[in-house]
Amino acid sequence: MFDDVAPKYDVVNDVLSMGQTRRWRRIVVDAMDMKRGQRVLDLAAGTGTSSEPYADAGIDVIACDFSLGMLKVGKRRRPDINFVAGDATNLPFADNSFDASTISFGLRNVNEPKKALAEMLRVTKPGGKLVIAEFSQPVVPLWRTMYTEYLMRALPAIAVKVASNPDAYVYLAESIRAWPDQDHLAAWLQESGWEKVTYRNLTGGIVAVHRATKPLEHTPEGAAEAIAAHKGPVAKLRRNIQR
């Protein structure tokens, strides 16, 4: 499916998000706050649009995705970026390989998202950061209703006119509607062993940017204990909401 939409993927995203995709991606890059010479894993990187700002800043970025079609389009456009085919639930990288990891609008497409969170933890260095941008749940009821109507009615109709595979965007709408809200994703991060978990709502909660840090003394056994011990309601988190 993702191979089919690769040629027009970035253009269609700009149309469907009414230009907001670029702004959301800039916020992710700012949240990462990486320095020249550091190494970043950009997971579900697709055609590499999300990886470009790091490469342009002299940061060693690895653009990883499971779709060979996406990677081929990206490599033709940006041959200077290192594109790697990989499964988010079984990453082809050694432990503690990256100063930071990020994934934008791809976690909900992973069959086992909690496993992907654990894998990103594994390959990130102790003290390293994680930044996730993902579609989420609007925080104002009226706005949530309007957004849901757009997802299920307008988005597929627009996709028919501009996309090479409109059915892929029907899946997109359904996957966004079924995705857990901000607090539940934050809980998943905590369960996976990440700490200092916070999130920021963008565009009224259509998108949420979650941030977390890998503990300095992380061990796989410790992460397993954290998952086993996690019970009760979602932890209360510090939020920085932008409407």
Fold of 2-136+179-230: Rossmann fold (3.40.50)
Residue 241 identity: I
Binding residues: 47, 65, 87-88, 104
Spell out a b/e string for 125-142, using b for 16 or more CB atoms within 10 Å of the CB, else e: beebbbbbbbbbbbbeee
Q: How far apart are CA 239 and CA 113, in angstroms?
A: 22
Please tell me the predicted confidence (pLDDT) of residue 59: 97
Binding residues for S-adenosyl-L-methionine: 47, 65, 87-88, 104
Across 105-114, 133-142, 227-236, the highest mean pLDDT is recorded for: 105-114
Range in 61-75, 126-140, 210-224 with the lowest mean pLDDT: 210-224
Exposed, middle or buried by CB within 10 Å (0-12, 13-18, 19+), for 47? buried
Please provide the DSSP assignment of 88-125 as one string.
TTB-SS-TT-EEEEEEES-GGGSSSHHHHHHHHHHHEE
Could you tell me where the DSSP H helices lie in 17-112?
20-32, 52-56, 68-77
Q: What's the pLDDT band for 6 if we cut at 50, 70, 90?
A: very low
Q: Contact at 8 Å (CB) between 67 and 6?
A: yes
Token code pair at residue 46: 């697709």
The residues of the chain that CATH labels 3.40.50.150 are 2-136+179-230
Q: What's the pLDDT band for 192 if we cut at 50, 70, 90?
A: very high
Q: Which helix (H) or strand (E) holds 170?
A: helix 166-178
Strand order in the sheet with 82-85: 82-85, 60-65, 39-43, 98-104, 124-135, 207-213, 195-202
pLDDT tens sequence across 108-118: 889 999 999 99
Give the SS3 label for residue 42. strand
Tokens 């082809």 belong to: 92
